Amino acid sequence: MFEVIKTYFSRFYISQKFYFLFFIFLSTKCFSFNIQEVANGVYVHYGVQEESNPENKGDIANIGFIVGKKSIMVIDTGGTQIIGKKLLKEIRKFSQLPISHIVITHSHPDHFFGTEAFLNEKAKIVGHEKLNRSLINNFTFYKNLQYTNIGLETIKDLKLVKADLLVDVNKEEVIDLGGRLVEIKAWNSGHTDNDLSVFDLNTKTFWSENIFVERTPSIRASILGWRKNLLDIMAMDINLIVPGHGKAINKIEAIKPMISYFNRLITQIRSFHVDNKSLQESINSILQKEIINPSNVNKESWILFTEYHYTNITKAFTELEWE
């Protein structure tokens, strides 16, 4: 009998311990904030490949920083103030140099809602010439969207931080971080109408939110423009791509699936226009194909495909209608 009680208690103890450890695991899983050095002095925090939700707290975009001999450049600040604070805390573990620049790669909330956390750093905030206009027009909408998806009360208090160093379209701004030149380029419309890339000349690391790895690219501005931008990037001498979403990989692996997806979409939509199909008829015909054989529609096995593919069709349909 005593043995039975002992076993019962030890089981109880083990299960308590198990739940305790499991709880710790869960909470660290939700709040873990890792930084990886992907090239010498180039640090990335990978966002999860999900939609923003209360568990991931909007931590879905790649953000990070580049360290020079004189100063640090931050690239995007994350989807909430909490993520911005975490990024700043991590930066301070690596370096105490001043943060001279914060680059906002484009106006989507998962990339810039953490900027408030950096205000004491007095850094220059770098953006595309069309960034501020987009921020002003969409800020209230994005705030409501982030609050609805993530549910954090602090999102309601967020203040808009605009860029104060604007880069003209098709121009490059070269920033010297001390023994390290970084080229910031403003692109023609692709993912959005205010896409910026960051090119670290020392390591030939190219950071671009125009590149989506594994996650379905979401067309918000122009499919033809985006494809052209990708082909231009393909022609550049690049060692490593840091995408806006997904892991850092080589140029060809990063860009090929996107080109193949965009080409298929463009061909398909042009044929719908030739046949005088309406948008609804076009979507229905693709939906039917997807029901019969999903892998034939999502050939590159994109994540979050259904969430973005049909809005991509809608966007591309209107763009290609007037060719």
Nearer to Zn ion (CB atom), residue 67 or residue 83 = 83
Nearer to Zn ion (CB atom), residue 108 or residue 130 = 108
* Count of alpha carbons within 13 angstroms of residue 155, beta-carbon side: 27
d(CA 216, CA 258): 9
- Interacting span for Zn ion (CB under 5 A) from 16-24, 35-43, 102-110, 221-229: 102-110
- Residue 62 CA to its chain's centroid (Å): 5
CB of 200 to Zn ion, least distance (A): 21
CB of 278 to Zn ion, least distance (A): 29
Nearer to Zn ion (CB atom), residue 45 or residue 108 = 108
Q: Spell out, one character per residue from 50 to 89, where the chain touches Zn ion: x when CB under 5 A holds, - when not.
A: ----------------------------------------
108 is a contact residue toward Zn ion (CB under 5 A): yes
CB of 109 to Zn ion, least distance (A): 9
Nearer to Zn ion (CB atom), residue 108 or residue 315 = 108
Question: Which ranges of the chain does DSSP label H, i.e. alpha helix?
Answer: 2-31, 81-94, 109-112, 131-150, 223-234, 251-274, 279-292, 294-297, 305-321
* Count of alpha carbons within 13 angstroms of residue 130, beta-carbon side: 19
- Residue 236 CA to its chain's centroid (Å): 21
Nearer to Zn ion (CB atom), residue 108 or residue 185 = 108
- Interacting span for Zn ion (CB under 5 A) from 46-54, 108-116, 251-259, 276-284: 108-116
**Which residue's Cβ has the minimum distance to Zn ion?**
108
Backbone dihedral region for residue 207 (phi beyond 0: left; psi -120 to 50: alpha; all else: beta): beta
CB of 244 to Zn ion, least distance (A): 6
Strands of the sheet containing 165-167, edge to edge, are 36-39, 42-45, 63-67, 72-75, 99-103, 124-128, 165-167
User: Which residues contribute to the site for Zn ion (CB under 5 A)?
Assistant: 108
